[in-house]
Amino acid sequence: MKRKAQFGQLGKKLGKGKLGTSLSSVNAIRSGAIPLMIDFGISGIKALQLSGNNPSSISAAAFMPTPDDLLDNPSKRLLFQMDALPKFLKGAKINATRAACLIPSGQMVCKHLQLIPAEGVPNEQIAGAQLSSQLGCDQGSLLVRTREVEGANRQGKQEIICFGASREFVGRLMGTLKSAKLDPVGIHTEFDALARSIQLRDESAGGVSNSKPRLVLDLGTGSTKVLIMHGSSLVFARSIEIGARHFDETICRQLRCTMYEAREMRHELKELCAAQPVGAAGAGLAGMPPPPEQDAAVSEGKSRGPQIDLSEPIEIICDEISMCLRYHDALFPGSRVEGMIFMGGQSKHQALCADMARRLHLEAQMFDPLACLARSGKIPVSGVDLREPQPGWAAIVGGALSPMDL
C-alpha cells in the first residue's frame, strides 16, 4: 500500500509567517519549571505536567476523548480540539504559564534524504529545498528539522531524516496555546518525542543505554510510527498510514456494523487473524478449548454467524515494517535489529502485539512511560487511570522531557 506523503487538511494552504525555517535554534533547557505538554492526537487531547528531575514526577495529567463523529474528519477534529483547549485545561484544574506541544503526525512529512554536504550551507536548507521540490510547494512555506544518521553507508552522501511541516499550521498551534493563556516554548515532532521516551526507559533501567539496534513501533489510532534506534540515536523514522481505525473499517465491511460497534468488538478480540465466531460464549479464550457445539460446527464446515479476520491490514503493516528493516540493513550492513518495543495506545491489545511480533520474528516488549516517572501526593488526574499501563502516553512524556526550542 503506497501513499503519497502530504500534509493534512489544515496544512494544505501554506502561508507565510514570522517563524524561521528551523525550529531547532535553541538546544538547551531553560531554567524554571518543566512546561505543560499538550498532544492533539486522533483519539483525543492529552495534557501532561511534570516537575523536578532524576526522576521527574507527574504533577497533573488529563485526557479528553475525541467525539466519535469527528474521528474520520482530521480538519474538524483539530479545529474542535483547538477551540476546546482552554475549557479542557480549566476543567482538569491544570495551572501553567508555559507550554509546548507535538505536531500531529498527519500534519507532518517524514522522509529520508541523501544529501551532498555543501560548505557553509546548513543541511536543513538543502533538505528543505529537496522536500519542497518533492511536495510541489514553496520552500519558505515549510518549517524543517533534520536529523543526521551517523555511520550510514551512503558512499559519500549524508543520510538525513527530514521532518517538514506547514509554517501556517505551526503558527496555528502556537496561536492555540496563546489563546489558552500559555506562553509557547516548544514545538516537537512525535518521532523526536518517542525517541526521548526510549532514552527515559533506558535511564530508568539503570542508566545503561542499550546500544543494540531496536525497532520501536508506536501503534496509534490513525497511523503506525516506525523508529529504529541505535542506543539513544534515532537512525530511521517513518509513518505508516494504517492504524486502529483501519482495523475498525475492516470489521465494518465484514459485519456491516457501525464504527463504534466495530471498535467495541475489536477491543474484545482474543484472536485477530483466525476467523473467529462473533458472540459465541467462551469462544476464543486463551488456553480454553472451544465449546462442543463449536467443534461440531467446525467439523461440518460451518460457522456460527459472521466472523472477524484482521489478517489483511496486519499483513500490510508488517510488510511495510519489513521494508523499513531492509532499508536499515542497507544503511548498516551486519547490524540487524534484535528486538522491538511496542508503545502507543493500541499496544494495550496483547493479541495484536503478539501477532505482529510473530510475523516479524522479533522478541517484543511493551513500554509504559508513566511507570518511569515518580508520583507524590494527590495528583490532579482527569480521563486517565494512572493505575493501569498507559503506553499511549509515550510521545507526550518524551515531549515533556525534551528541550525547549522556541
pLDDT band at residue 8 using 50, 70 and 90 as cut-offs: low
Question: Can you give the three-state secondary structure of 75-107, one letter per residue?
Answer: HHHHHHHHHHHHHHHHHCCCCCCEEEEEECHHH
% the chain with pLDDT above 70 = 82
pLDDT for 16 beyond 70? no
Over range 118-138, report the average pLDDT: 92
pLDDT for 216 beyond 60? yes
pLDDT on residue 67: 94
Over range 79-107, report the average pLDDT: 95
Q: What's the number of CA atoms in the CB half-sphere (13 Å) around residue 40? A: 30
For 180-211, how does the pLDDT look when each residue is reduced to its tens digit (9 = 90+)?
999 999 999 999 999 999 999 988 876 555 67
On average, the pLDDT of the chain sits at 84
Over range 325-349, report the average pLDDT: 93
Hey, is 229 helix, strand or coil? strand
pLDDT on residue 212: 86
Cell numbers 493534512 correspond to what residue? 8
State the cell numbers at 26: 535553541
pLDDT on residue 378: 82
pLDDT for 30 beyond 60? no
Cα–Cα distance, 104 to 163 (Å, whole number): 12
pLDDT on residue 312: 93
pLDDT for 31 beyond 50? no
pLDDT for 118 beyond 80? yes
Cα dihedral across residues 259, 260, 263, 268: positive or negative: negative
pLDDT on residue 274: 53
Cell numbers 482527569 correspond to what residue? 382
* Neighbour order of strands in the sheet with 213-219: 233-240, 224-230, 213-219, 339-343, 363-366
pLDDT for 80 beyond 70? yes
What's the chain's Rg over C-alpha atoms? 22
Over range 134-153, report the average pLDDT: 92
**Nearest partner of 164 among 105, 108, 96, 230, judged by Cα:** 108
Cα–Cα distance, 344 to 353 (Å, whole number): 11
pLDDT for 277 beyond 70? no
% the chain with pLDDT above 90 = 67
Domain boundaries, given as residue ranges, for the chain: 19-244+316-400
Instruction: Name which residue leads in pLDDT, 145 or 405.
Output: 145
pLDDT for 14 beyond 50? no
pLDDT on residue 19: 39
pLDDT on residue 222: 92
Question: Under CATH, what is the fold of the domain 19-244+316-400?
Answer: Nucleotidyltransferase; domain 5 (3.30.420)
